[in-house]
Amino acid sequence: MNNNLLITVEHLSRHYGPIQAVKAVDFELRRGEVLGFLGPNGAGKSTTMQMITGNLAPSAGRISICGIDLLDNPKAAKAEIGYLPEQPPVYRDFTVDEYLNFCARINRLSKDKIAAAVDNAKQRCGLTEVGRRLIGNLSKGFQQRVGIAQAIIHSPAIVVLDEPTVGLDPIQIREIRSLIRELASEHGVILSTHILPEVQMTCDRVQIINKGKLVYSDDISNLDQRMRATTLLVELRNPPAINELQTLPGVTQCDALGDNRFRVHHSLEQNPAEQIAEQAVKQAWGLLALSPERKSLEQVFVEITSSEQAHSHPEEHAA
- CATH number, domain of 260, equals 3.30.70.100
pLDDT band at 136 (very low <50, low <70, confident <90, very high): very high
Give the pLDDT score at 125.
93
Mean pLDDT across 42-64: 93
Give the bridge partners for 193, in sequence order: 38
pLDDT in tens, 240-263: 999 999 999 999 999 999 999 999
Give the pLDDT of residue 221: 82
The residues, ordered by sequence, that sit 6+ positions from 91 with a Cβ below 8 Å of its Cβ are 99, 102, 135
Is it the case that residue 314 has pLDDT exceeding 90? no
pLDDT score of 2: 61
Q: Is residue 302 part of a domain?
A: no
Sheet holding 34-38, edge to edge: 81-84, 158-162, 188-193, 34-38, 205-210, 213-219
pTM: 0.78
**Residues 196, 240 within the same domain:** no
Same domain, 287 and 169: no
How high is the mean pLDDT of the chain? 89
Q: Are residues 112 and 169 in the same domain?
A: yes
SS3 306: helix
Q: What is the CATH number of the domain that holds 24?
A: 3.40.50.300
299 lies in some domain: no
Q: Enumerate long-range contacts of 23-29, CB under 8 Å, 24 or more apart.
A: 23/211, 23/212, 23/213, 24/60, 24/61, 24/213, 25/61, 25/209, 25/212, 25/213, 25/214, 26/214, 27/207, 27/214, 27/217, 29/5, 29/158, 29/188, 29/190
Q: pLDDT by residue (tens digit) across 153-203? A: 999 999 999 988 888 888 888 888 999 998 888 899 999 988 888 888 899
At residue 319, the pLDDT reads 32
Please tell me whether residues 220 and 246 are part of one structural domain.
Answer: no
Inside any domain, residue 318: no
Task: Using alpha carbons, select from 182, 166, 174 the residue that is nearest to residue 121.
Answer: 182
Q: Are residues 80 and 160 in the same domain?
A: yes
Position 230 confidence tier, pLDDT thresholds 50, 70, 90: confident
Question: Measured in Å, how far apart are the chain's first and last C-alpha atoms?
Answer: 50
Q: Which domain holds residue 259?
A: 228-294
Crossing angle of helices 140-152 and 111-124, in 10° steps, is 140
pLDDT surpasses 70 at 299: yes
* Residue 319 forms part of a structural domain: no
Q: Say whether pLDDT at 122 is over 80.
A: yes
pLDDT at position 88, please? 87
Tens-place pLDDT, residues 19-51: 999 999 999 999 999 999 988 888 899 899 999
Res 298 pLDDT > 80 = no
Judgement on whether residues 32 and 158 belong to the same structural domain of the protein: yes
In total, the chain counts a number of residues equal to: 319
Is residue 31 within 8 A of residue 4, CB to CB? The reply is yes
Q: What pLDDT does 316 receive? A: 38
261/249 same-domain check: yes
Verify that 190 and 267 share a domain, yes or no.
no
195 in the same domain as 98: yes
User: Do 214 and 253 have their domain in common?
Assistant: no
pLDDT at 318 over 80: no
Rg (C-alpha) for the chain, rounded Å, is 25
Instruction: Answer yes or no: is 61 within a domain.
Output: yes
Q: Does pLDDT of 283 surpass 50? A: yes
**Quick check: is 301 in a domain?**
no
User: What phi and psi, each to the nearest 5 degrees, are found at residue 102?
Assistant: -60, -45
Same structural domain for residues 239 and 118?
no
Q: Are 68 and 8 in contact (CB under 8 A)?
A: no
d(CA 192, CA 34): 10
The answer, yes or no, to whether residue 212 has pLDDT greater than 50, is yes
Domain count, the chain: 2
In the listed set 171, 200, 225, which residue is the last one of a domain according to the structure? 225
Closest CA to 186 of 220, 146, 151, 143: 151
- Integer Cα distance of 201 and 218 in angstroms: 15
Domain boundary among 197, 225, 253: 225
Q: Give the rounded distance of the alpha carbon of 240 from its chain centre.
A: 45
- Phi, psi dihedral angles at 107 (to 5 degrees): -90, 10
Same domain? For 205 and 238 the reply is no
More confident residue, 286 or 227: 286
* Element (DSSP H or E) covering residue 251: strand 251-258
